[in-house]
Amino acid sequence: MEKEYNIEIFSRNSKGISLTTDGAEFLSYARQVVEQSELLEQRYIAKKISRRLCSISTQHYAFAVNAFCNLITNTSSEEYEYTLRETRTSEIIDDVKNMKSEIGILYLNDFNKKVISKLLSESHLSFIPLFTAKPHVFISVACPLASKDKVSFEDLASYPYLSFEQGDINSFYFSEELQSTVPHKKSIHVSDRGTLFNLIIGINGYTISSGVVTSDLNGTQIKAIPLEVEDDMTIGYIINNQTVLSKTAERYITELKQVISDYGMKLL
């Protein structure tokens, strides 16, 4: 096909192969052609549609998982292979850049926007905002602070601070938590959301996030309380400008928006 279309689809070297710019564009068009062909076959010769594929990379957000559950529940395909990666900020960007995932979910705010936006632009990625949230702390309902209407960093000083580790790129700008430069006397880094919530309950720890928490997936032992700081976060999704989203990825975005609305957040 490279000879036929006079383009270079893959860049080849001693370390392996990767898609070129032309290759990424070719793949997006090819995906549409295959999908339309399958629809024709399914409509006119009753051929079973092939396995659906979709990959999503996201920071550790329960609403992203809820939307993924709804996507699977509402799928009409008899066969599918979906992937959901809750991972580090830099890996989310790399996944979408290298087309390992079609969609990445992360946040921007006044502190990280310049750095992250520059990286997205260099990687030919676009950020589409979903909603804006004020910072909240997630704490256990058994924590002495749980009865307060809002909390300050002074209130939290004696409690362990929990955050998601970011690997080799452990920069403040890549932190999933707002107010990442604030010093903490007790700090614990974790790699997954389940461990973080277990530590919130088990040792009265806390983390800083959007305030969107659901009892469906997180149980009833976690509570979100507003944090007394002047800050906010705009959570959205990133896509690769050189590709066209699959129908499954588009349906995921629809489910994502519905879940966010159901939580009472105003879509942008």
Instruction: Return the pLDDT at 207.
Output: 95
Instruction: Return the pLDDT at 179.
Output: 92
CB-hemisphere CA count at 13 Å for 135?
20
Per residue of the chain (268 residues), give pLDDT as tens: 888 889 998 888 887 888 888 887 787 778 777 777 766 776 677 665 555 678 999 999 999 999 999 999 998 777 788 999 999 999 999 999 988 899 999 999 999 999 999 999 999 999 999 999 999 999 999 999 999 999 999 999 999 999 999 887 778 899 999 999 999 999 999 999 889 999 999 999 999 999 887 766 666 889 999 999 999 999 999 999 988 888 899 999 999 999 999 988 999 9
CA 109 to chain centre: 15
DSSP string of 113-129, one letter each residue: HHHHHHHHHHTTEEEEE
Beta strands in the chain (DSSP E): 10-13, 16-19, 52-58, 80-86, 103-108, 125-133, 136-140, 161-164, 187-190, 207-209, 222-226, 233-240
Query: N- to C-terminal Cα distance for the chain?
Result: 42
Instruction: Return the pLDDT at 42.
Output: 65
Rounded (5°) CA angle 260-264-265: 55
Cα–Cα distance, 246 to 158 (Å, whole number): 48
Domains of the chain with bracketed CATH: 2-130+234-262 (3.40.190.10), 133-232 (3.40.190.10)
Encode 167-199: b = buried (16+ Cβ within 10 Å), e = exposed.
eeeeeebbbbbbebeeeeeeebebeebeebbeb
Torsion angle of alpha carbons 33, 35, 36, 42, nearest 10°? 140
Cα–Cα distance, 234 to 117 (Å, whole number): 13
Cα–Cα nearest to 125, from 236, 10, 248:
236
Instruction: Return the pLDDT at 56.
Output: 96
Pairing of strands 52-58, 103-108: parallel
Query: How many other CB atoms are found less than 10 A from the CB of residue 83?
Result: 13
Is 62 strand, coil or helix? helix
Instruction: Return the pLDDT at 46.
Output: 64
